[in-house]
Amino acid sequence: MRMTAQPLLSAIEATLRELGSLNQLLGNFYYDEKGSANAELHMHLESLMTHYKLIDGLKETVRDAVVPLDMLDHLDRTEHSNPDLYTLNKVELFLEEKERHERMAKDIETVQKLL
C-alpha cells in the first residue's frame, strides 16, 4: 500500500512558511543592546532545522512516488521551468474539460426532454 504524500507536503509548506518568516526577520534585522533580535533569529533557525529534519524523516513515505512523464518532459524543455506553472496549466486544462463536459451533459439533458 502506497503512503500518501500529504504529510511530506505539509512539512514542506511549513518549512517554506518558516523560511518566509526568517527572510522577513533578516530583512528587518537590527542590533539591539538586549540581544532580542539575535535570540529571535536563533529561534527561527532552530525551528527551520526542526522542519528540515521532519522532511528528511518523511522522504521514505514517497520513495515510490510517480511523477508524470509529461511533467518531466515539460521541465526538460523549459529552462528555469516552475513546477507550479505546470500544475496551474493542468488545472486550467481540467477546468476547461470539466466545463465542456457540463455543457455536453446539459445538451444531452435537453435532447432527452425533447424526446
Domains: count for the chain: 2
Please check whether residues 51 and 81 belong to one and the same domain.
no
**What is the identity of the amino acid at 66?**
V
Both 55 and 89 in one domain: the answer is no
**Alpha carbons 3 and 5: distance in angstroms, whole number:** 6
pLDDT at 2: 47
In order along its 115 residues, the chain shows pLDDT tens digits of 345 667 777 888 888 888 887 777 766 665 555 666 667 777 888 888 888 888 888 877 777 777 778 777 777 777 666 777 777 778 888 889 988 888 888 888 888 888 7
Q: Are 77 and 114 within one domain?
A: yes
Determine the distance from the C-alpha atom of residue 92 to the mean position of all C-alpha atoms in its chain, rounded to a whole number.
17
Judge if 6 and 61 occupy the same domain: yes
Q: Could you tell me the residue range of the domain that residue 81 belongs to?
A: 67-115
- Looking at the structure, do residues 1 and 43 belong to the same domain, yes or no? yes
- Same domain flag for 72 and 23: no
Q: Residue 57's pLDDT is what?
A: 84
Q: Are residues 28 and 48 in the same domain?
A: yes
Per-position DSSP letters for 24-69, written without gaps between them? HHHHT----TT-HHHHHHHHHHHHHHHHHHHHHHHGGGGTTPPPPH
Return the pLDDT at 41.
76
Length reported for the chain: 115
- Specify the pLDDT at position 1: 37
Cβ atoms of 86 and 74 within 8 Å: the answer is yes
Q: What is the pTM of this model?
A: 0.39
Residue ending a domain, among 29, 48, 66, is: 66
CA nearest 93: which of 114, 60, 70?
70
Half-sphere exposure of 51 (CA within 13 A, CB side): 18
pLDDT reported for residue 72 = 75
The verdict on 3 and 49 lying in the same domain is yes
| Res 35: pLDDT | 61
Q: Does one domain contain both 59 and 4? A: yes
Q: Cα separation of 48 and 20, whole Å?
A: 11
pLDDT for the residue numbered 47: 85
